[in-house]
Amino acid sequence: MMEKAPRSPQGRRLVGNIAVLLLSSFLLLFFAEIITRLAAPQRPAAGAADQPRGFYAPHPRLGFTMNPSFHGRLKQRDFDTEVRFNSIGLRDREFGPKPAGARRLLLIGDSYTFGWGVEEGERYADRLEERLREIPGARWEVVKAGTNAYSTAHELAWLREYGWSLDPDLVVLQFCMGNDFADNAGADYRVEDGRLVTVPPGPNGSAADERGLKAWARRHSHLYLMLRNLVNQPGVGRADRRRAEFAMFNAQVNRGSGRTREILAEMAAEARTRGVPLVLLVVPMRHQIGEAGVKEKALADYPNTVITETAQALGVPAIDLLTTFRESAGAGSSGLYFRHDAHWTREGHRLAGDSLFDSLRAGGWIPG
């Protein structure tokens, strides 16, 4: 057997230099990531890998629901919560025929109504139910029909599949400023291995934005996100960048406003036919109530203006939480949203539940 020739001194130096270069690059990126997280934290995107396996189940008419057989924990950077679902995929108890003398309020929505990041009992729907039970002589049931990632189109389909059969006396439709306009314009999902992925798929049959180093960096690296923003908007000042972000977001609102109006009109017509009041609950996003939203109020408020005027034209009363949340944040309530996740904390849910109850009471939808 021939023996390998010993590596030359030049070869050993080259290997050593490459190793030092790789180690130095790794340490530089590692410390740059830490500094970015401390000094300029970004908002990493969530992906299918961040969802528990078996969290969702496919549905022949709705596309997907939460999985009735799932019982486990939902873990993210900001929270660790227990989650279980009833037989129709709601994070709630089972509901049968409405008891005699009882009134039933149906809350339909997405991850905010679901209670993403908080425990059962801490959601705005739970707080609303607590307040309803304080009314002397009244007997209210609140159905918490929140499904993560549902659009208004999904919610209309769910109302037809399950909601009307629950015989509600009042329906509150929760509308999220963050994604409902865009989702109503055509975004959709499917279930893979009990996880939700976006449609259309990539070349390998899985979601196009769920694979590869770039997708991993979008979900985990604050340094990558900061550099991407700087590259996409070179030489742009902070104020100009803020306005550009709002303008880009509002362009999505314009694309989805027509389809949103059509869906809401269908839901309102069905509610009127059944003699059931329909109320719209408008959920603001964190960037709308913070410093950026205050400084660029006209741009920040635009989506809320579009949806409330649309609802008004259709005869659907709207309860917009934007002013309530902005005033609360201005008064020092900084913990209404999670630091990294865009959803409400238990404090945000409590504020929303109290505000919703007060508005429903003032509007005459809750007697007593």
Say if 18 falls within a structural domain: no
C-alpha angle 330/125/101, rounded to 5°?
135
Q: How confident is the model at residue 165 (pLDDT cuts 50, 70, 90)?
A: very high
User: Can you give the CATH number for the domain in which 279 is found?
Assistant: 3.40.50.1110
Of the ranges 27-41, 72-86, 213-227, 228-242, the best mean pLDDT one: 72-86
Q: C-alpha 115: how far from its chain's center?
A: 10
Say if 21 falls within a structural domain: no
Say if 307 falls within a structural domain: yes
At residue 144, the pLDDT reads 98
Tokens of 55: 């969290």
Q: In this structure, are residues 68 and 89 in contact, taking their beta carbons and an 8 Å threshold?
A: yes
Q: How confident is the model at residue 213 (pLDDT cuts 50, 70, 90)?
A: low
Nearest-angstrom CA–CA distance, 106 and 254: 29
Say if 35 falls within a structural domain: no
At residue 247, the pLDDT reads 84
Tokens of 102: 């009882």
Q: How confident is the model at residue 302 (pLDDT cuts 50, 70, 90)?
A: very high
46-56 residue pLDDT tens:
544 568 899 99
Nearest-angstrom CA–CA distance, 274 and 277: 9
Q: How confident is the model at residue 178 (pLDDT cuts 50, 70, 90)?
A: confident
At residue 322, the pLDDT reads 96
Say if 173 falls within a structural domain: yes
Residue (of 196, 154, 197) closest to 175 by Cα position: 154
Nearest-angstrom CA–CA distance, 278 and 107: 10
At residue 333, the pLDDT reads 61
Q: Is 178 exposed, middle or buried (0-12, 13-18, 19+ CB in 10 A)?
A: buried
What is the average pLDDT across 83-90? 97
Nearest-angstrom CA–CA distance, 252 and 336: 25
Give the domain extent around 155: 48-362
Q: Is 61 exposed, middle or buried (0-12, 13-18, 19+ CB in 10 A)?
A: exposed
For 222, residues 6+ apart whose C-beta sits below 8 A from its C-beta are 33, 36, 37, 40, 41, 42, 44
At residue 234, the pLDDT reads 47
**DSSP per-residue letters across 159-217:** IIIIIGGG--SEEEEEEETTTHHHHHTT-EEEEETTEEEEESB-TTSSBTTSSHHHHHH
Ramachandran quadrant class, 240 (left: phi over 0; alpha: psi -120 to 50; beta: rest): alpha
What is the average pLDDT across 125-131? 98
Say if 26 falls within a structural domain: no
The count of domains in the chain is: 1
At residue 242, the pLDDT reads 74
The pTM score is 0.81
Q: In this structure, are residues 194 and 56 in contact, taking their beta carbons and an 8 Å threshold?
A: yes
Of 199 and 141, more confident:
141
Among 137-141, 216-220, 281-285, 355-359, the range scoring the smallest mean pLDDT is 216-220
At residue 129, the pLDDT reads 97
Sign of the dihedral defined by the CA atoms of residues 288, 289, 290, 292, in that order: positive
At residue 245, the pLDDT reads 80
pLDDT surpassing 50 at residue 235: no
At residue 159, the pLDDT reads 98
pLDDT surpassing 70 at residue 192: yes
Tokens of 163: 């909601």
- Average pLDDT score, the chain: 86
Say if 42 falls within a structural domain: no
Task: State the CB neighbour count (10 A cutoff) for residue 17.
Answer: 10
pLDDT surpassing 60 at residue 169: yes
At residue 355, the pLDDT reads 98
H-run or E-run covering 145: strand 140-146
Q: How confident is the model at residue 203 (pLDDT cuts 50, 70, 90)?
A: very low
Sign of the dihedral defined by the CA atoms of residues 180, 253, 123, 96, in that order: negative
Percentage of residues in the chain with pLDDT exceeding 90? 58
Helix (H, G, I), strand (E, B) or coil at 283: strand
For 241, residues 6+ apart whose C-beta sits below 8 A from its C-beta are 229, 233
Say if 2 falls within a structural domain: no
Looking at residue 233, its amino acid is Q
Q: In this structure, are residues 197 and 210 in contact, taking their beta carbons and an 8 Å threshold?
A: yes
What is the average pLDDT across 163-184? 95
51-82 residue pLDDT tens:
889 999 999 999 999 999 999 999 988 999 99
